[in-house]
Structure 1
Amino acid sequence: MSFFKKLKETISRQTESVTEKFRQGLEKTRTSFSEKVNDLVYRYRKVDEDFFEELEEILIGADVGVTTVMELIEELKDEVKRRNIQDTKDVQAVISEKLVEIYQGDDDFNGELHLQENELTVILFVGVNGVGKTTTIGKLAHRLKSQGKTVLLAAGDTFRAGAIEQLEVWGERVGVDVIKQGSGSDPAAVMYDAVQAAKARKVDVLLCDTAGRLQNKVNLMKELEKVKRVIEREVPGAPHEVLLVIDATTGQNGLSQAKTFREVTDVSGIVLTKLDGTAKGGIVLAIRNEMNVPVKFVGLGEKMDDLQEFNPEQYVYGLFGDLIDKEAE
């Protein structure tokens, strides 16, 4: 069975609404990236060095990341040689395969949250201001609640003006309580109160917001270490997830932020927001490949249910859907 048929079969087993969200959410990237690849394929009659050089430029332009692009191009060259591929159209299938391969092969990278069974799960959110961190927390609260989980929010960003109020608005929208203190208070003290409240109320998941300043890495490190220490003391093994929220529209700057936060805390997963608002959706691959951290969720729109678990097959289908449909026939 061809790669395209296998991919199409995998996609068909997943809900149509999710497939459509990925298609719509990746429209800008697909229009920019896939059309350029299609144009390249039809302009070149044979797979040669010039073909690969131009493909390299297209991938870098989609913010796949230079390191990832170099590795991908080398793998493509090896695969083309091994299969004795002469027709440039056949290279598209190999590109799709390689994009999926970057994400597959490791259960830790399946995009699922590590939720505790019959125990409190604590999830810590980190990231700079303006990336959509609070909105992501609200959307995830909605997602978890719709799955039958009880949820509590902790307003640990006491630094940014309006952060607590913004989280409260989301709490009201979703129908979950927010544990807070006054602006400028100690974030670790907020976390202590939140954990105690979560345990007393026997909630399933506690979602914790944190301050997003990066200007002083030392302060950020100390603050996050203190917050984590308080959480772990009250709930051994917590936080069970540390999710770094990145704005996809910032491209390589987002990757730089990710690397900085990796230095100050143990990031277990990435949430990539505003993927629908950028033509540079290749950043997904750069993050996975260069940081060895899974993208667990992607923001594909403004609606409450537009936060989706990242799925590598859906991602590739979102980029090459028309080609995959055609080749799978």
Structure 2
Amino acid sequence: MIACVGLQQKDPNEIDALNQKITSLLNYRVGLITEIKNLHQKRRDLRNEIRALSEKARSTRDGLNKGYGEYKEARKIRRETLAKIREIRQNMLAIESELGKVEQNLPRREGDTIEERIKAADWKLQTERLTREEERQLVEMVKDLELKFRLWKKAYAARQELSSLRSEMNQLKRRLDGLSASREKVEGEIESGKTRLTYDVKARDQLFNEMEELNEDISELEQTIAKTDAQLEELRQKRREMLKESKGHDRDASQRKEQEMLAKAKDAAKEKLQRGEKLTFEELKLALEDEPEPTNQPSQPSQNDDSKSLPLGDMPERGSTV
């Protein structure tokens, strides 16, 4: 009996201690859940930043590719323009050399005069009466003038071509200047784009490193939560077993107490019966009841010899006295 009381006093203390441990672990688990939620949110934010940097780097790379294409095209056009300018210069030199030969003894502005002299000589040959010598001299003069006129026309055409070439070359030079300015602008944009791309890629790599660290932290927290859940389940199982055991002890103690009280009441009823005192129906029932089976189940009352030794009359009614 004393051992049972000691156990009943010990169990609540142990259960309280278990409850405190469970509460502490639950609070710890809540903190872990809050921390892992914060890490998940931070990881989502990092993913958004990485996605934005990747898009920015992709846009910068596309711009660089476009810039490289423009730069190559500008260099190609520049080479073609320079080649064209060199070709024009060579043509101009050849024309100027030819002009130098043609115009050596031919004034530049004599073309109109020569043409008028040829027309006048032709008119004179057709309208005037000339001697054979005068006609011969006039024909020789016309031939000489026609030769000079052809040379002058050739020189004039060369001059026109030279002027056209010079105009074309000046236009190409202006185009070349524009290409140079455009190339410098494209080169600046390319260098700026390369700098931005390098910075964005480094920043993205740093975010990837942070992401890896976050993943490791999250994995560790998940393992810690799993261990905490296992500890909680173990403590809860232990508490369930202790509560079950405690309830069993309480039930056994209650049954023992009831049996003790029943035994005392039965002894008292038997003593009253032996003394011939009046008994209630319940007391008489207890006095005549057989001893309980070892299973602690109450047995049905039976009539024994004591019932035959009642003083008078029939069995008493419920609630009456004998």
Structure with the higher fraction of residues in strand conformation: 1
The structure having more radius of gyration, on CA atoms, is 2
Structure with the higher fraction of residues in helix conformation: 2
